[in-house]
Structure 1
Amino acid sequence: MGQMPCVLCWYQRIAMFPLALILGVAAFRNDASIWRYALPVALAGLAVAGYHSLMYAGVLTAPIEPCRAGPSCSGDGMVVLGVPLPFMATASFAAISTLLAILAKNPK
């Protein structure tokens, strides 16, 4: 999108990018035990993304302080298909965490 991410978005990327690599390798190797390594990373990303989403929605009274160092996440440019980026990240981490938790309960 041609914009620098805010600090919280960087933390979310720090969690998401390794997940893409780890889960890709696990899918290639058909490794059902990957949940042991990927679930903590996904949950950490979910925590940051959830906090960011709560700040974005105004549920938390603190302003989006980390966004002052870079672009603001509350601008119209931070919406994709009508969904704000913090909400999209939260949904992604929640979906990954849910699928990994299902895999943990039902190993092959």
Structure 2
Amino acid sequence: MSKKIENSLLFTWVVALVATLGSLYFSEIEGFEPCALCWYQRIFMYPLVILIGVGIIRKDTGVAIYSAILSGIGMVIAIYHYSIQKLQVNDDDILGCGLVSCSGEYINWFGFITIPFLAGIAFILIFSTSLYIIKKRKEEVA
């Protein structure tokens, strides 16, 4: 495994870890109750910390395929969730929203940074870096 791939894998792990700790901070310390879409995003983010961590320990770059799939799905959910917040959609029209409103914004830094925005950025970084790792891995094999 080349140093670039190894560093890229470590980068994806750090992003997933920071995103996981950030979501736990917002819910457990700040007391922000997650909505249904936030829970779905957590379902796709939290396992990435363990999955990529095991890949790093085993020096297995094949984990990038799994991280690309999980982060890709999480990215779609985060983009959908962010669009609900910023397009001011009626709560009754939101697909998959539970007791806590998915259109609510616990934070709104600089007028555009919300929790789904932060999750979306993390998923995009993990997804794009995972695709880079997959590409470089194929080049090394060839």
Q: When the two structures are superposed, what TM-score results if normalisation uses the length of structure 1?
A: 0.83
Opposite residue 99 of structure 2, the aligned amino acid is A
Tell me the residue number matched to 2:59.
30
Task: Tell me the secondary structure at the aligned position of residue 79 of structure 1.
Answer: coil
1:5 correspondence with 2:34: yes
Task: Tell me the secondary structure at the aligned position of residue 74 of structure 1.
Answer: coil
Structure (1 or 2) with the larger CA radius of gyration: 2
1:39 correspondence with 2:84: no
Cα distance in 1 for partners of 2:85, 2:75 equals 15
Cα distance in 1 for partners of 2:82, 2:130 equals 22
Higher alpha-carbon deviation: 38-47 or 27-36? 27-36
Cα distance in 1 for partners of 2:50, 2:120 equals 19
Opposite residue 105 of structure 1, the aligned amino acid is K
TM-superposed CA distance for 1:86, in Å, is 0.9
Number of aligned residue pairs: 104
Tell me the residue number matched to 1:106.
136
Q: When the two structures are superposed, what TM-score results if normalisation uses the length of structure 2?
A: 0.64
Cα shift readout 1:23-52 (whole Å, capped 9, x = no counterpart) = 111112221111122211111100100100
Tell me the residue number matched to 2:127.
97
Runs of 4+ in 1 over 3 A off after TM superposition: 64-68
- Ranked by relative contact order (alpha carbons within 8 Å, sequence separation 6 or more), the top structure is 1
**Unpaired stretches in structure 2, ≥5 consecutive residues:** 1-29
Indicate if the aligned counterparts of 1:43 and 1:93 stay in contact, CA closer than 8 A.
yes
RMSD: 2.1
Q: 2:90 aligns with which of 40, 60, 63?
A: 63
Cα distance in 1 for partners of 2:104, 2:65 equals 35
Cα shift readout 1:10-69 (whole Å, capped 9, x = no counterpart) = 0000000111110111112221111122211111100100100111111xx633445561
1:54 correspondence with 2:83: yes
